[in-house]
């Protein structure tokens, strides 16, 4: 399924940014970002992001070695059954909030950023479930992808149009219901008919979706959960 109650680390104020004027080492900031994401503490991770900017830390480093590493820990814990959906959602929202702060600093300074991979994602026609799809979109964004979210109940024709328009590296098709899962195959068939199937890697997921179904309809990848979806997507486009 494409699907952390924030957990207190027991470390108390250690992960609250130091008072203005105090020296905060780079590794301390990165550790703070990571731990606040793991704990799902949005306000704390936002303070660490602002601290990183104040101390002149490279925003890209803060995203990759701070936020991303924290999400990696959360994803692993989720797959092992140590974290559940609430923990995963809170971690993703915390990382998203801090990422917005750091990305704004990148824009302000005009820093050069690596060319983003592009993902288009949506829930197929007949299905209005949003949480799992949105979580996958958030995690891909934090992983450095430019994400176009088409929303829910998306007709197959719109997916095809989006592939032509945005030329994404990955197309994500979500379906929670068994009755709407066939919509994923309709989209893939539509890509074939339009002659653009080979231009994009298609990933499928959702409560009703299995790896066997993904193989049967000719998808390139499958994510049992949001964390696995990102890992699989990165492998598909050569980032892992």
String of DSSP letters for 12-72: GGGGSPPPTTS---HHHHHHHHHHHHHTT-HHHHHHHHHHHHHTT--HHHIIIIIIIHHHH
In this predicted structure, what is the pLDDT of residue 8?
40
Contact between 91 and 40 under an 8 Å Cβ cutoff? The reply is: yes
List strand residue ranges (DSSP E) for 72-219, in order: 118-123, 146-149, 170-174, 201-205
Report the pLDDT value the prediction gives residue 118, as an integer from 0 to 100: 96
- pLDDT < 70 positions in the chain: 1-24, 111-115
CATH of 12-109, picked from 1.10.8.60, 1.10.3720.10, 1.10.1240.10, 2.60.40.1120, is: 1.10.1240.10
Contact 233, 144 (CB under 8 A): no
Tokens for 65, please give them.
Answer: 């070695």
Answer yes or no: are the C-beta atoms of 192 and 171 closer than 8 Å: no
Give the model's pLDDT for residue 109. Answer: 80
- The domains of the chain are located at 12-109, 118-236
pLDDT in tens, 138-184: 888 877 788 999 999 999 999 999 999 999 999 999 999 999 999 99
d(CA 202, CA 31): 35
178, 235, 169: which is closest to 210 by C-alpha? 178
Which fold is adopted by the domain 118-236?
Rossmann fold (3.40.50)
Quote the distance between the C-alpha of residue 125 and its chain's center.
Answer: 22
Q: What is the pLDDT of residue 10?
A: 36
């Amino acid at each position: 399924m494409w699907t952390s109650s924030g957990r207190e680390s027991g470390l108390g104020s250690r992960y609250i940014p130091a008072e203005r004027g105090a020296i905060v080492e780079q590794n301390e900031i990165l550790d703070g970002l990571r731990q606040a994401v793991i704990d799902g503490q949005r306000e704390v991770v936002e303070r660490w992001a602002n601290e990183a900017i104040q101390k002149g830390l490279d925003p890209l480093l803060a995203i990759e070695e701070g936020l991303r590493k924290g999400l990696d820990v959360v994803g692993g814990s989720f797959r092992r059954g140590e974290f559940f959906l609430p923990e995963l959602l809170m971690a993703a929202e915390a990382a998203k909030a801090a990422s917005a702060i750091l990305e704004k600093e990148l824009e302000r300074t005009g820093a050069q950023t690596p060319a983003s991979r592009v993902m288009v994602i949506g829930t197929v026609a007949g299905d209005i479930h949003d949480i799992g799809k949105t979580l996958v979109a958030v995690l891909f964004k934090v992983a450095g992808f430019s994400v176009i979210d088409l929303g829910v109940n998306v007709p197959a024709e719109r997916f095809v149009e989006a592939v032509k328009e945005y030329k994404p590296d990955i197309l994500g098709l979500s379906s929670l219901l068994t009755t709407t899962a066939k919509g994923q195959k309709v989209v893939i068939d539509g890509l074939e008919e339009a002659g653009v199937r080979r231009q994009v890697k298609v990933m499928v997921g959702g409560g009703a979706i299995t790896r066997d179904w993904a193989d049967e309809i000719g998808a390139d990848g499958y994510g049992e959960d949001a964390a696995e979806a990102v890992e699989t997507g990165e492998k598909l486009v050569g980032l892992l």
